[in-house]
Amino acid sequence: MLSLEDAWIKAAVEHRIINIDYFSARTKREHTNRDVEPDFVGTSKDGKNNGLWATFCHLRNQGPRCFLPNTVRRFSVTSNTFNPSPNGRWRELIPIYNTKGLKEKEF
């Protein structure tokens, strides 16, 4: 099984929706289950946030959203796909995807 980060990268490049059980520790302090459209792993362009980026969160019906890896309790990659955002950063993950051989690996 892939790590959360590798699954996020693979799903972002392959445009697959990820289902996560998430604990919002810094804000509402609640557990939620969400379908998200993964986009990027790393620091925001303004350098203020670092984490797992989604261009869209179906639960909150908004995006982009940033999730801290240590607050994702469980994840699974669904068979559902999405159209990537034209402003998304998933293309930046392609070199990592290729270097790690994620195309050949199973979720």
DSSP letter string, 38-78: EEEEEE-TTSS-EEEEEEEETTTTB--EEE-GGGEEEEEEE
pLDDT digits (tens, 9 = 90+) for 65-80: 999 999 999 999 999 9
pLDDT of residue 49: 84
Q: Is 100 helix (H, G, I), strand (E, B) or coil?
A: coil
Mean pLDDT per block of 10 residues along the chain (107 residues) reads: 96 98 83 95 87 91 90 96 94 97 96
Full-model pTM: 0.91
